[in-house]
Amino acid sequence: METIYEQVDGGVCAPHGFLANGLHCGLYADPKKNDLGLIVSETECSAAAVYTTNKVKGAPLLVARRHLEKTGGRARAIIANSRNANTCNADGEEKAEQMCRLAAAQLGIAPEQVIPASTGVIGQILPIEPIASHMEALVKGLAPENHSEAVKAIMTTDTVLKEAAVRFSIGGTVCTIGGMAKGSGMIHPNMATTLNFVTTDAVISQELLQKALSDIVKVTYNCLSIDGDTSTNDMVCLMANGRAENHEISEADGSYEIFREGLYRVLARLTRMLAKDGEGATKLLECTCDGAPDQETAIVVAKSVIRSPLFKCAMFGEDANWGRILCAIGYADAEFDITKTDVELASVKGEIAVCRNGMGIEFSEEKAKEVLCEDEIFIRIHLKQGDASATAWGCDLTYDYVKINGDYRS
């Protein structure tokens, strides 16, 4: 029987037993802007995480990794702030530890059960006083309905909230996975995924939780590129509290595959939201490569096209310059025969073939313009050399991207 995955509201609080809140503590000057957020499980969780591959890592990531190692992959809460990345500071790790101690004291848990995260400007000292003076209010406001307030607290140049959740059944027991994300720029497919927090009430071993997260990140967040910059603070953290009380997923069996598919649906949806909200973006770009000899080749080809600056500019200009697609496919670090490759461009306005067997073909420029005038563009690449496929996501490159990043610190 096919598993049904139902999209539900509630974000990280859609699974049973999770609470959240966010508020303005004073890191931002604007009193209407949340800058401190908290996610808490009512019971202890198995926890898994994936971190940025940037050699420069934010202090919160170092502390988060240390806490999870100390607890053996157990956690109860995530504390996060925006406006200040707490990165490249001599006192960074101590400030991150302080954030955890402050949250733990109010929650009545051990500091090691708290995962810290920060996002914002690099190289500025994080003031701990505003965080300390607002921690009590932050904890008092914890509630399932405040999930969106937590999302607002990690937004920087984001223009929309990014939340997703799915509900499904494992062995007759209803389980839920929910997630939230922030990110609009400084995103590149190198496990630079911005801040992403995911929760589930499923019962699953820590080992399989980490395996599922690492596997799904590879085909979702790591297939996302906004601007080619790999951030210093990005992480995905997944907590499972077991409140659904399903039979524990302890082997990579059918129950694990159902859970894994649910996680894919949540992370893929968040990835798509991140791509569509790229800094200054006017178009979501979704590139699918099929007919590849293996999935790694499909991933490499799709990502190569999505992160091409010239192609991104062409999409902003609504120019069906298919040569830029072939160029990006051609320098992808993978082995395949380019002379078998077909390419189409598509949107809700239809589909137009631009390349067959590695060569250009005649097509209507007027029809192509009509297809590319939409805000969601699909690039379809057929290598015709196997059965593997993969999708990558990105956005166009616009004038506004430069404007946003020209005065980011102010």
Q: Which residue, of 276, 298, 318, is where some domain finishes?
A: 276
Q: What residues pair up with 22 in beta bridges, in sequence order?
A: 37
User: Which residue range forms the structural domain that includes residue 123?
Assistant: 6-276
Q: What confidence tens digit (pLDDT) does each residue in 1-23 have? A: 799 999 999 999 999 999 999 99
Residues 339 and 263 in one domain: no
The mean pLDDT of 109-114, rounded to a whole number, is 98
Task: Decide if 213 contacts 35 (C-beta within 8 A).
Answer: no
In this structure, are 394 and 339 located in the same domain? Answer: yes
- Let me know: does 345 contact 378? Beta carbons within 8 Å: yes
pTM: 0.90
Please state which of the ranges 65-74, 147-156, 232-241, 247-256 shows the lowest mean pLDDT: 232-241
For residue 374, give both structure tokens: 């939409």
Model pLDDT for residues 142-156, shown as the tens digit of each residue: 999 999 999 999 998
Q: Given a cut of 90, is residue 219 above it in pLDDT?
A: yes
Question: Is there a single domain that holds both residue 242 and residue 310?
Answer: no
Q: Does residue 374 contact residue 280 with C-beta atoms inside 8 Å?
A: no
The answer to whether residue 1 sits within a structural domain is no
How far is the first Cα of the chain from the last one, in angstroms, to the nearest whole number? 55
Verify whether residue 52 is a known catalytic residue: no
| Position 233 in a domain | yes
With respect to residue 98, please indicate whether it lies within any of the assigned structural domains.
Answer: yes
Find the CATH number of the domain harbouring 316.
3.10.20.340
Same structural domain for residues 249 and 288?
A: no
**371 in the same domain as 259:** no
Rounded Cα–Cα distance for residues 80 and 234 (Å): 12
Query: How many other CB atoms are found less than 10 A from the CB of residue 370?
Result: 15
Q: Give pLDDT tens digits for 35-58.
A: 999 999 999 999 999 998 888 889
Annotated active-site residue in 193, 194, 199, 220:
193
> How many angstroms separate the CA atoms of 174 and 15, rounded?
10
Q: Are 322 and 358 in contact (CB under 8 A)?
A: no
Q: Same structural domain for residues 247 and 358?
A: no
Closest C-alpha among 355, 349, 362, 407 to residue 381: 355
* Domain boundary, last residue among 234, 254, 276: 276
The domain that holds 166 is classified in CATH as: 3.60.70.12
Domain boundary among 253, 276, 299: 276
291 & 268 share domain = no
pLDDT in tens, 383-396: 999 999 999 999 99
With beta carbons less than 8 A apart as the criterion, state whether 343 and 368 touch. no
Neighbours of 251 (CB within 10 A): 10
When pLDDT is averaged across residues 312-320 and rounded to a whole number, the result is 96
Q: What is the pLDDT of residues 49-91, one digit of tens each?
A: 999 888 888 999 999 999 999 999 999 999 999 999 999 999 9
Q: Which residues, 6+ apart, have CB-to-CB distance to 141 below 8 Å?
A: 21, 23, 149
Rounded CA gap, 313 and 329, in Å? Answer: 16
User: What's residue 194's pLDDT?
Assistant: 72
The number of angstroms, rounded, from the C-alpha of 275 to the middle of its chain's C-alpha atoms is 9
Helix axes 295-306, 206-219, angle to 10 degrees: 50
